[in-house]
Structure formats: C-alpha cells, structure tokens
Amino acid sequence: MKLRDVVKEFMLLPAASGYEKKMAYAMKSHLEACADQVEIDRAGNVIGKFAGTDSLAPRIMIFAHMDQLGFIVRKIEKDGFIQVDRMGGIPEKVLPALKLSIAGIDGEYTTGVIGVKSHHQATAEEKYKVDLVTSLLIDIGASSADQVKAAGIRVGCPAIYQPNFTELMNHHVCGTAVDNRCGCAALVSIGEQLKGIKHKSDIYLVGTVWEEFNIRGAVFAARKVKPDLAICMDVTMSGDTSDLSGKYDIGLGRGAAVGMYNFHGRGTLNGCIGHQGLYRLALKCAEQNQIPLQEFATLGMLTDAAYVQMEGNYIGCIDMGFPARYTHTPSECADLSDVQHLADLVTIMASEIDAAFPVGRF
C-alpha cells in the first residue's frame, strides 16, 4: 500500500490519548498482512512480531505512538456549552473558532466549534489577547445540558482537533496528528519491507499508547517484548521556517533524522542520549544506501524512549524521526519523502543487527 494512502488513513482516524482503539485496530490490520503474529496488549499497544533466524541476536523493538493530544470535557454548562481542559501540549493561541470532534461514551463523535467573541463586539484589547483554554466554550449546537448528555457527552469525555488531511506541494502533507501518524505509517512500511527480508534478530513493530498523556504507554510493550535495543520513531523540529532557522539545521525534504539528545526539564527531568552503537549504525547504513540523514538535538521535548530505556537491565535506545512544522497545532506539516527515507533506513538498520552487535552503552 502506498505510504501516502496509509498516512491519510491514519491522520483521519480519531485517537485521543487514552482512546486509541480505532487507530490500534487499523494498525493491527496493516501489520497482520506482513507480521508473523500480531496482538494488542492489555494497555492497548499493538505488537507485531517478525521472527529472526538467530536466537542469540538482540531483540529489537521499533515503535511509534498512535495517540494524539486533545482535550477532556471538564464541565457542561446549563445552556449546553461545554468547558474543556488540555490533554497534552495544546498551544492556546490557535484555539478560537477551531472545529473539534468530541467522543461520547458510546464512542461516537460529535462536531463542535470553539466559540470566540464576535469581532464586531470585541474591544481592541480583546482582539489581541490569547484566551486560556479554560475560558473558552465549545458549541455543539445544544441549548441545554440535557441535550449534550443525550449526545452521549459527559464530563471526562475526550475531544480532538477535527481530523483533516491536505496535500501541499513537494510531497508535503498537512493536517491533524502528523505527530505521530507519519511515524505509524513508517512502521507499516517497515513491516512490508521486513516481510521479504531475512534478518537475524526477532523484530517487534509496536504502535504505542499514552505518549501525549504521560509518555509511558510504550513501557508496557517493552515489558512484554523485553528488547535489548529499541528505536523510537517520532517527529523532530524542523528548522526551515524563519522563526526556527537560527535554531536547527534540519528541514523538510532533506531526509530522515537521527536524534542524539533530548531532555525535558519541566517536571519530568528525563530524556534520551542516543545509543552510540545504533547511532553509528544509522550513519553507516545511510551512507552505504545513499539515504539522506539529518542529525537532531534539542531541549524542551522528549519521546517514549526516555522511559523505555529504563526497563530491565537497560534497553539501548535511539530516536529516529522526520522533521515536522507547526507541531501540536491542527495543521502540522511533514514531507512524505522524509517519512519513506525513515522507514527504509530503520528497516536496513534492523536487518543488519546480529549477535555481535554491542547492546551496552559502551
């Protein structure tokens, strides 16, 4: 199946963090076409196994998170308007007048819009003010709390940016949950490639849950798989827009990315320093196969790898990814060629690992 079609399918699926069921079953369906066995664990992670030829070779887990950030219904007003709070890193300045999809307790979605004071009635100060999410109200067309509840919406129900997908020029795609549905599509591409390749290691492709919530859903999969090495596939920050051009030497259309360092100090005090053996392997495989590869390091963000690496006696982890613009907004952008390069490179890396590969840090 073409990567573009998988990306579109995944981006249009609703899967708020903690409510990934539709995305999980879509991922399971794709992996069943190529893996030796596929299961969904008790936490909701989708795990596809590709058996290797050497039981002494390191076990490898390649993973990407399936969930997306969103909102949680906090209060239903008597007049039918809905208050929400953030679930994940929502940028409040993009919210007014956005369309949302709110999941009811039956799993069905209702469309709503985030209200904004009519421009003609807004004061000069209000026109340039960023409103907190807790001060905004969602309008689903209801005129009472009873009508909201009749639609299946209760306090605690999740909401997401209304799913959308748009193709731009130069292989660029734009819309909701590029972070991290492009990573999930890369997993599918890797599975399709592994089906026809002999490899020494048992390789597990995993779609994970809860990343945007608490970054720990992948841990349950790691405890089940017990890998020696792990590759996390997620977005990296693109530095090819004017606001970030002085910060990162990385951009759309320039290839896959390898993340050598990330650290999130606001409360989590965690991050990942890339496994040196996997880093060198990425460089070698990229050069030998003429796959463009960019390097990325940053503060202020982290991935599932931060917690996966701490399982067992230590799991050698590295972040691999694709550059993305406008992250955590309803209009994230990525280049499909970068996503394909990522899938191709990680496939080659995993297929080259054998019993002699060093799994320790040094």
Q: Active-site residues: which are they?
A: 211
Q: How far is the C-alpha of 332 from the C-alpha of 326, rounded, in Å?
A: 5
CA atoms within 13 A of residue 115's CA, in its CB half-sphere: 16
Dihedrals phi, psi of 63, to nearest 5 degrees:
-140, 155
Burial class (CB in 10 A: 0-12, 13-18, 19+), 261: middle
Strand order in the sheet with 172-175: 165-167, 172-175, 332-335
* Structure-token match 């990229």, residue found: 286
**Buried b / exposed e along 151-175 (16+ C-beta atoms within 10 A):** bbbeeebbbbbbbebeeeeebbbbb
* Structure-token match 């952008």, residue found: 333
**Residue pair 357/199 in contact by the 8 Å Cβ criterion:** no
CB count in 10 Å sphere of residue 4: 16
